[in-house]
Structures are given as C-alpha cells and as structure tokens.
Amino acid sequence: MPIENINKSVAFYTLGCKLNFSETSTIARSFRDEGYDKVEFSEEADVYVINTCSVTENADKRFKSIVKQATKANPDGFIIAIGCYAQLKPEELAETLGVDLVLGATEKFNITEYLDDLTKKGLGEVHSCEIDEANFYVGSYSIGDRTRAFLKVQDGCDYKCTYCTIPLARGISRSDTLENVLTNAKEISEQDIKEIVLTGVNIGDYGKGEFGNKKHEHTFLELVQALDKIDGIERLRISSIEPNLLKNETINFVAQSDTFVPHFHIPLQSGSNDLLKLMRRRYMRELYVDRVEQIKRIMPQACIGVDVIVGFPGETEERFLDTYHFLQELDISYLHVFTYSERDNTPAAEMDGVVPIRTRKKRSKMLRALSVKKRRAFYEQHLGETFTVLFEGENKEGYIHGFTENYIKVKYPWNPELVNTLHEVELTEIDTDGLVRFDFVNEMVEA
C-alpha cells in the first residue's frame, strides 16, 4: 500500500501527443484517489511525474531540462518518468540526475503502488516490461485541464513504418470495448465539457483487440455512429487518422452528423510515392488525393490538417520538391511538419541517402512557411461566414481564444464569462498575428 500521504502533492508534465495527455489525466486521478493534491509543475511538490515522448529527438532532449525544472522547484521532490521514452530507454532515463523511478508501458498505470518510499535515490529504479507484454488495454480520458477532453479509444500499432518507434514503445494494436468508450464519453459529458477529441495511436484500426483477440469486433465507423447518439456532447472531433483507414462511409457520416465536426487530420508524411514505399506507408499519394477530394466534395468548409516528414533518407531535392508542389496544389488547411531524426532500432536509421541536417532544417522551414500560407488562405476563404466558437480558458496577453467547428482559431478581448461557452459568430477579418476577429451573432448557441 502507498505510504500515508496527508497533504502530499503531485505535479505532472506531459510531452507529446493527445494520447499522452489523456493518460496523464487518468494517472492524475489515481493520485487524487490516494489523497494527493495536484499542483502546477513549477510549484513545490512531493512527487513529479514526467510523461515522456520519443517521436522526435527534441522530445528526448527536453527531458533533462524538465527534470532540472522539477529539482529547482523542490530538490527533495521524488521524480518519476513514464511514457514512450521510458519504455524505449529506461536505463538512460534512470541515469539522469534527479530521476528516482522509471516505469514502462504497463507499469505506469500502477504508479501509485510504487510510492511506499519517496526517499531520493542515488540512481533511478527501473520497472519496465518487454513490449510483448503490453498486450492489454487501459482506458483513459482527460478532464479538468482544458475545455475539451481527449478520449482514448485505441492503443498500440501493428504498422511497420520504417521511421517509427511507437510499436516498440506501446506494443500491438488493441482497442477499448465499445461499451467502455461510451461509458467514458458519458462521464465526460456530465462534467460540462463541450468537446471530445477521439485519440489513440492508430484510431482508424479501432475494434482490433477489443476483447483481447486479433480480429475486429467493431469498426471505426460503428464507434463513430455509437458516439454520435450520446446526449450531452456538443462536439466530437476525430484526431489523426490514417488515409487508408478513413473510409468514404465515415466521411459521409461526419458530413451529416450534428455532433462530429468537419475537421480531419490525415498523415501524409511524403508526397513522393518513392519515399512512401521506403517508409512502408500503406497508401500512395493518389489515395491521399482521393480522401481530400471526397471530404471537400461534401464538406467544402472542412479543415484538413496534414503530417509531413522532411529529410527522410533518400529524400533528394527532386523528391522534396515533388512533396512541396503536391501540397501546394492540394486543398488542405495546415501542415504539421516533422524534421526527420534517426531513431534507434528502426530500419530507416540504417538506410542510405542520409539528408544533411542543414538541408533538413531548410526544407522544414520551407514547409512551415507553406503551412502559414495554407492556413491563412483557409481562413480567408471563410471570412463573412457564420460558425460556432468554443472559447478556451486561458488569458493570453489580454485575449481569449477559441476554435470554430472547422478549427479556425479566433481571438476576442478577454472575458472570463466566455470560458467554456459556445457562441455563434460571423468571421470578419484576419489580424496581424494570423488569428481571426469576429462579430457575435444575435442568437447565442449557449450562454
């Protein structure tokens, strides 16, 4: 049993994806159940939990600086590392000065069982399983940190993309039961949260491993259809979904749904078919074009985000420009650009045709500039139109921000009464910072 912890406190720092945020929130609730008070990471705490990411080299590098931040706030604070980096390189994290405990992919959900002794260690203690043992599912969702909740529906991945360590960090593809997803969604809806974002490693693969077996008990479409019927949820948003798993039936359903919003984030990674083959992606760019055209055909206002990797081995200048021009012509709304970094134990790290770091950075800068142009063009396209905005809870330099259903980010002078409310607005102009100004429409969706 955990030690008696009257007035003990815990702080959390999350790196990486929406899935990590959903799991951090669930783990935070397990601390609350043991009597811990949650405080900000910059404050003095008895325990600091860092949920790590290892998708990029930068996430790895940030870990040590976050540990230093914790030790500065409380030199005697007990520091625990969990997450993907903790599974992939537990010994490396354990050797970081100040780290006391490292928990792998399965152990992190039992974190409170490791709190018998919060005495600082000279060297971090490691509890990490073989990734083959990460074959069971733990449901998670985030509440209390944002005006939207991240609902985990799936974990792990059976794909073998040559650049990716996620299957090594999270294990095989497996899903929450449909019944449990719906239960969690109802719990979220009862917390006055207006928007739920579905998240996972490969959510389009939902249904596989739902009851501990390899077959699909349900499809992603069936999940979407079931969630759409739950009362009390204003908005449902699909996070990143593979283009080969985003079927016409799902697109058509979202188009007629009153709850699912017209926003898709679809990884591309490269506009060169040669590179897609080297990456072992499960589609060619022609399929990607078809997905975008299908969405825009029935939802012209839809926002489409794209993941792209630059500097992958074999990315010649010609192949990069092929990707650049492909994206330039595609009717998409913004890009998430990732500069390729070599990851241990991946086939790509051993490939020929290594792109110089300087070239990777240059190409990344070009694509980020293209993203700014794409986003602005998307915003301009919808000026004068009416949308519904969900306002966020943070005061940023005197402004409150919010998002329309199709993910246009707006700004308005700070008014705390607007936090976590939905309002119908008419978009009027784009400000110098790239955000959109608006006028309220007389009819309020929710006050």
pLDDT tens digits, the chain, 447 residues: what are they?
A: 444 546 799 999 999 888 999 999 999 999 999 999 999 999 999 999 999 988 666 666 789 899 999 999 999 999 999 999 999 999 999 999 999 999 998 899 999 999 989 999 888 999 977 777 777 788 899 886 668 999 999 999 999 999 999 999 999 999 999 999 999 999 999 998 999 999 999 999 999 988 777 778 899 999 999 999 999 999 999 999 999 999 999 999 999 999 999 999 999 999 999 999 999 999 999 999 999 999 999 999 999 999 999 999 999 999 999 999 999 999 999 999 999 999 999 999 999 999 999 999 999 999 999 999 999 999 999 999 999 999 998 899 999 999 999 999 999 999 999 999 999 999 999 999 899 999 999 654 443
Closest listed residue to residue 445, CA positions, set 379, 370, 368, 388 = 388
Sign, CA dihedral 406-411-416-418, equals negative
C-beta separation of 150 from 141 below 8 A: yes
Query: One fold for both 132-261 and 263-377?
Result: yes
- 3.20.20.80, 3.30.750.210, 3.20.20.370, 3.40.50.300: which CATH number matches 132-261? 3.30.750.210
CATH level 3 topology of 263-377: Transcription Regulator spoIIAA (3.30.750)
Q: DSSP for 278-322?
A: HHT-SS-HHHHHHHHHHHHHH-TT-EEEEEEEES-TT--HHHHHH
The C-alpha atoms of residue 312 and residue 342 are separated, in whole angstroms, by 9
- Residue pair 368/187 in contact (Cβ under 8 Å)? The answer is no
What strands, in cross-sheet order, belong to the sheet with 148-152? 148-152, 195-199, 235-238
Sign of CA dihedral 371, 376, 382, 388: positive
β-pairing, 386-391 with 125-127?
unpaired
Residue 146: other Cβ atoms inside 10 A: 17
Whether the CB-CB separation of 246 and 129 falls below 8 Å is answered with: no
Superfamily of 9-129 according to CATH: Response regulator (3.40.50.2300)
Domain ranges of the chain: 9-129, 132-261, 263-377, 386-440
- Ramachandran category for residue 244: left, alpha or beta (phi over 0 → left; psi -120 to 50 → alpha): alpha
Three-state secondary structure call for residue 50: strand
Q: Which residues contact 427 (CB under 8 A, 6 or more apart)?
A: 379, 382, 383, 384, 385, 386, 387, 404, 408, 410, 436, 437, 438
Q: What is the pLDDT of residue 139?
A: 85
Phi–psi pair at 205, nearest 5 degrees:
-90, 10
Q: Is 195 exposed, middle or buried (0-12, 13-18, 19+ CB in 10 A)?
A: buried
pTM for this entry: 0.92
